[in-house]
A and B are shown apart, each in its own frame.
Chain A
Amino acid sequence: MSYLEYNVKHTPTGLSKVLYINWVLVILLTAVACVGFLQLYSVAGGRFDRWAEPQMQRYALALGVMFFVGFVPLWFWRSMAGLGYAASVILLLGVEFFGSVGMGAQRWLELGPIRIQPSEMTKITVIMAMAAYYDWLDPRRVSHPFWVLVAVVMIAAPAFLVLKQPDLGTALLILGGGGMVMFFAGVSLWYFGGVMAAGAGLITLVFSSRGTDWQLLRDYQFRRIDAFLDPTLDPLGSSYHINQAMIALGSGGWSGRGFMQGTQSRLNFLPEKHTDFIFNTLAEEFGFVGGVFLLTLYIAILATCVIAAMQAKNRFAALLILGIAGNFFLYFAVNMAMVMGLAPVVGVPLPLVSYGGSAMLMILIGFGLVQSACVHRPRERA
């Protein structure tokens, strides 16, 4: 592939771009969002206006944003990567140093009807920056310790700022998303092995910090971890949530208790039923079948992205798509593992299903970038 080839192939322009939108992806995303609307209607006790309606409005808005992002040429986004990254870090710093006067609202940034968390935005900008970075970097140098260090700092700096907020879930997603781009870019596997070893060491460190004055996690985070490790420890305290979540999930059985018949969610035994634990309401009301259906939709989205990445003839596009897809995977994998009792409760929403505009908007902006890569892929003339 060379710049020469760009000239003999054509890139869609104007309204014809609509034809080149990845409609399979749009349909899959909307299907997932519809599962969300259904469950939000159900957990609101059959009320449409409580959660389902605002969620649909947000989805419509976010979908518009996705198309807009998708219609903007990819080279523009590539050139914006550095700027976006810098803006994110500055906003995070602003939140860190000036946000405390906002009485705990420091995570938020008002943007019209939608509130955006800088940390939320950072998930995308880090992936963009890493994709651009590896597009710029000579592929032969990716495993060079210096360039690896540069990448690690680029990822770790915003992640650290987010962790300080504190928002463990988002910090993990930033680390995971950036790390995956590094992985796709071809950084030597030895580094990843090393990080895993270091991770094990870090976990030991975090636990040994407990109760000291340099404690790395908040007390409630430690309690959540304890609850995860042994949910029977304190059934009415911090383990209450996860126990009730497991009951909701397990009681669904094969085909569930029926739409709007989930007692755990309807009677409020299930905590955060419209946000982090919405998967459990689905699993309770539609059972194993419903859970597998949603998981299949998610995997189909991933598969669509991987195919798009394979088709991309451009290193930035491929890395970006894979990074966004990887980030999406982390979202639902961490959430599902958490609500199934396989991971501690870290507060990661189920993408496109959980109630909330900020995460949804950022996810669809991410998929907007995927669409941009799809639309602006050079094609043979018809």
Chain B
Amino acid sequence: MKRPTKDTEESARRISRRAALLGGVQLTFAGVLLLRMRSLQLGQADEFRLLAEENRINIRLLPPSRGLILDRNGAVIAGNVQNYRIVLVREDAGEPRAALERLAQLIPLTPEEIERAEREILRHRPFVPVTIVDQLNWEEVARVAANAPALPGITPEVGLTRFYPFGAEFAHSVGYVGPVSERDLEARENPDPLLMIPRFQIGKIGVERELEENLRGSAGHRRIEVNAVGREMRELDRQEGDPGVNVQLTLDRQLQAFCLARLGEDSASAVVMDIPTGNILALASSPSFDANLFVRGISVADYAGLRDNDHRPMSNKTVQGAYPPGSTFKMVTALAAFEGGFATPDERIFCPGHIEISDRRFHCWNRGGHGRVNLVSALSESCDVFFYELAQRVGIERINAMATRLGLGERYDLPLSGVSSGLNPSREWKRERRGAEWVVGDTINASIGQGFVLTTPLQLAVMTARLASNRAIVPRLVHAIDDVEQPIADQPSLGLSPEALAQIRRGMWEVSNSNRGTAYSSRIVDAALRMAGKTGTSQVFSITTAEREAGIRRQDQLPWNRRDHALFVAFAPDTEPRYAVSIVVEHGGGGSSVAAPIARDIILAAQSGGLPPLEAYPAPQRNRIESMIRTISDQIGPPAEPNPGRSRA
């Protein structure tokens, strides 16, 4: 088919026109692309650069090392040790179950631990390192490291964990740390991001908890580059955090250990205070427990053992335990009477063994009576009737006020958990809390530290220190934070009449130094170390009529938890008081037979700065005492080695 040339030329021109037209459109479109690139790459470059950096850079927190807790001499009582743990990366390890079974041939792993580890591994992305066991000892880590070629994706790592070299000795006062729990997070309004770190340790009780902010320190961080699925590619930079600051306590490790060992298996507590400063030198609550158990998360069996023990090992009895002070309260009653002018220190009162008040008979502990007693002999022989008489004259208001002056009923501001205020009862208190009027019988009971009165062992030590010094001694537990010495509280004079106080001290002296004193057998013969004290035997339950008929006459015939509490408060040396001690042995029986010997040993240990000197004891007792001291000194070991291996439940 032939076409005229004109037509073909025309169609060729048309093609050119159309090509030019479309070429123009294409160029325009290219221009649009160019403008778009310009606006994105030049106009909004910074914005997109920022977004790209946000994509790329993740910030990971670096946990700071926790501040140390030291005793008054600088011994570390809460430190950090390297914690060896085993970390598994799923993508390198392959099938988790098989990898864990292989690992279990090297280190002890219970089936439930394997189960838990497997669950945790599968919850994370395959490249995320998951800690499967920690708190391994060096030997176990070495075994894993030596077998590394057979264990792909399983690596030992090292971090820091809390360690308490003295295990049980400071478990109540210093407390312990543990992994952050949901409750810990809920309790905080704006939790430190550090707390979100898995297995981060936080103070749970005691000083560890109360001074958490000081001890924790602040997080460091490292900036890492991650890819789209969050895998770490490399570290960009790293800034170490500030470690927590050290806290030095007033506690004396040696004395604390002695106290705990001396209390032994009893459910008991001991407080030793330095009178001039108010420093608490020992705060022992028995039985105790190994604080290290909680650091790694306590096993159910261990926890159940502690929880179900009727001696309440987890309770810090020195500040949480509130006991009827018994006869150790008699100094309060006596001072209230003398200060109010209701009696003179020389006044003598006849004790027939009981007293009748509003048709009720109140017995003296000595049913036969003490005859005529004055303050000194009433204290040393612990005559109850003398104080019943005084109490009737002064009334509860003055007793209550004197107790307050001597530091009872006060909740001391110490970095300890569950500090109790005890109970210093008054008319108002009874009306409000019990909905009943105060009756004179209540005052009689209160006068000998029974009835409503409750005191903590710490309060008793404070009371003793105040009696010994006539100053408002305040207990002090923290000596320095970050090497900055903490101020000693003002100790204004109590303004008690020196004569009355002298008589009280004389009475207390006779308790442990006069052969009629209730604690004469616990006397100290070294004149420079002599102590003055007061026994207390506080009734928890009276022996019921039924029991009496069943032939139960004595305390040791009763079940343990119905027996009396044994108490003793003391200060020493008698001439220039330096140390105040309070001992409470729960259901221990008599204060003179049980609590006073303990107090003597402890106050001697405090004064000697080591073990009690044998020559301070009366000669006939020395043989017995010597073997006891040897037993105790055997129990006071050196600081424990960290990483004792994995505890098995």
**Residues of A at under 8 Å CB distance from B?**
1-3, 138-140, 180, 183-186, 244, 246-254, 263-264, 266-269, 283, 287-288, 291-292, 295, 298-299, 302, 306, 309-310, 315, 318-319, 322, 326, 329, 333, 336-337, 340-342
Contacts and interface: CB of A to CB of B under 8 A. Distances in A.
A183 B51 contact: no
Interface stretch (B31-39, B181-189, B463-471, B520-528): B31-39
A283 B40 CA distance: 10
A299 B26 CA distance: 9
A299 B30 contact: yes
Contacts of A2: 2, 5
A259 to B, nearest CB: 16
Interface stretch (B85-93, B223-231, B245-253, B564-572): B223-231
B29 interface: yes
A264 B33 CA distance: 21
Nearest to B47: A250
B225 to A, nearest CB: 7
B55 interface: yes
Contacts of B30: 295, 298-299, 333
B37 A283 contact: yes
Given A183-B22, A291-B37, A342-B32, A138 B48 contact: no
A310 B55 contact: no
Contacts of B497: none
B10 interface: yes
Contact of A138 (B3, B12, B226, B228): B3
A253 B229 CA distance: 25
A138 B34 CA distance: 40
A246 B48 contact: yes
15 contacts: A246-B40, A249-B40, A250-B44, A263-B56, A267-B225, A283-B37, A283-B41, A310-B19, A318-B15, A319-B15, A322-B15, A326-B22, A333-B30, A336-B33, A342-B36
- A contacts with B: majority SS: helix
The winner among A249, A267, A292, A326 for most chain B CB atoms within 10 A is A267
Contact of B48 (A247, A292, A315, A329): A247
Given A309-B19, A337-B33, A340-B37, A269 B14 contact: no
B9 A295 contact: no
A288 to B, nearest CB: 4
Given A264-B56, A337-B33, 6 more contacts: A183-B22, A264-B52, A268-B227, A322-B15, A333-B26, A340-B33
B8 interface: yes
4 interchain residue pairs of minimum CB distance? A250-B48, A139-B11, A253-B45, A267-B227
Contacts of A263: 52-53, 55-56, 225
B45 A295 contact: no
Contacts of A184: 15, 18-19, 22
Contact of A250 (B29, B45, B56, B228): B45
A292 B49 CA distance: 19
Contacts of A302: 23, 26
A279 B11 CA distance: 39
Contacts of B19: 184, 306, 309-310, 322
A291 B41 contact: yes
Nearest to B57: A263
Interface in B326-360: none
Interface string B49-86: 10111011000000000000000000000000000000
A304 B41 CA distance: 29
Given A139-B10, A184-B19, A333 B29 contact: yes
A45 to B, nearest CB: 10
B32 A186 contact: no
Contacts of A246: 40, 48
Contacts of A251: 45, 48-49, 51-52
Contacts of A340: 33, 36-37, 40
Contact of A253 (B15, B42, B233): B42
Nearest to B229: A268
B236 to A, nearest CB: 11
B7 interface: yes
Given A139-B10, A251-B52, A315-B15, A269 B227 contact: yes
B515 interface: no
A186 B34 CA distance: 30
Contact of A329 (B5, B7, B26, B56): B26
B27 interface: yes
A306 B23 CA distance: 8
Contacts of B631: none
A287 B40 CA distance: 10
B49 A250 contact: yes
Contacts of A268: 227-229
A344 B363 CA distance: 99
A267 B226 contact: yes
Contact of B55 (A250, A252, A264, A342): A264
B404 interface: no
Nearest to A302: B26
B7 A247 contact: no
Given A269-B228, A295-B33, A333-B33, A254 B15 contact: no
A269 B53 CA distance: 11
A275 B37 CA distance: 19
B11 A315 contact: yes
A319 B18 CA distance: 11
Given A267-B233, A299-B30, A186 B45 contact: no
Contact of B15 (A250, A283, A309, A336): A309
A264 B57 CA distance: 11
B648 to A, nearest CB: 44
Contacts of A248: 52
A284 to B, nearest CB: 8
Contacts of B47: 250
Nearest to A318: B15
Contacts of A185: 15, 18
B147 interface: no
B61 to A, nearest CB: 21
Contacts of B23: 302, 306
Nearest to A296: B30
A78 to B, nearest CB: 14
Nearest to A262: B52
B486 interface: no
